[in-house]
Amino acid sequence: RPRWIGFGVMTIVGFCMLTAAPHFLYGPGEDALGLTVEFGGVADENATQEVLEQQRAKSLCRDRGNETACALEEGNFAPQAVFFLAEVISGVGGGLYYTLGVSYMDDNTKKSKTPALLSLSYFFHMLGPAIGYALASFCLRLYIAPQLQPVINNNDPRWLGAWWLGWLLLGSTLFLSGILFTMLPKELPRAKA
């Protein structure tokens, strides 16, 4: 069972890496690069809401009386497919981890301590989203391309944070814990006594 639990955690590592992959496959995007010093962006602290709206309207359809002005650019379906595949993989890995992990814990603890340990386990499971929001808050304060110097700050509506960075951090942490899970024995020595 511990190897299967470790395998489940490793599939979640695959989910994390696949979720971050579109950033590395497609880059941060022309709009984000245009707002950096390295790509010729100029700081405009006096940008009005009208200027921001004009930039936003470049890629959106707008009604102009009798006609509709639309950008003819097509979207890219491939990143959506990558995200969908990542979610499927996450479901498989999470299923293995949560079903086998609970039974492994139950079989390897004293019956009097099982309810407390299961409660603690579910507490940490519910604490996960709060930790995730804190990690996302940290990562989104960094620019989408952290190696570049943006000409805007994170209060600007055009700011794009490093959404992909948290997935790499989570994947690395889970990789280490997955390896540790595979090293656990089938039955813990204390459970035999």
Output the DSSP codes for 79-114: HHHHHHHHHHHHHHHHHHHHHHHHHHHHHTS-TTTH
60 within domain boundaries: no
pLDDT of residue 137: 95
18 within domain boundaries: yes
Domain that holds residue 113: 2-44+78-187
SS3 165: helix
152 within domain boundaries: yes
Other beta carbons within 10 angstroms of residue 82's beta carbon come to: 17
135 within domain boundaries: yes
57 within domain boundaries: no
Q: How many domains does the chain have?
A: 1
Note whether 94 and 8 are within 8 A (CB).
yes
pLDDT of residue 58: 57
pLDDT of residue 11: 94
182 within domain boundaries: yes
0.85 surpassed by pTM: no
User: Could you identify the residue written with the tokens 């700081």?
Assistant: 43
SS3 30: helix
pLDDT of residue 50: 62
pLDDT digits (tens, 9 = 90+) for 90-99: 988 888 888 8
20 within domain boundaries: yes
User: Could you identify the residue written with the tokens 């962006």?
Assistant: 41
Ranges of residues in the chain with a pLDDT under 50 are: none
CB-based burial of residue 126 (10 Å sphere; 0-12 exposed, 13-18 middle, 19+ buried)?
A: exposed
193 within domain boundaries: no
pLDDT of residue 55: 60
pLDDT of residue 66: 55
pLDDT of residue 88: 93
Note whether 15 and 90 are within 8 A (CB).
yes
pLDDT digits (tens, 9 = 90+) for 146-176: 888 888 888 888 888 999 999 999 999 999 9
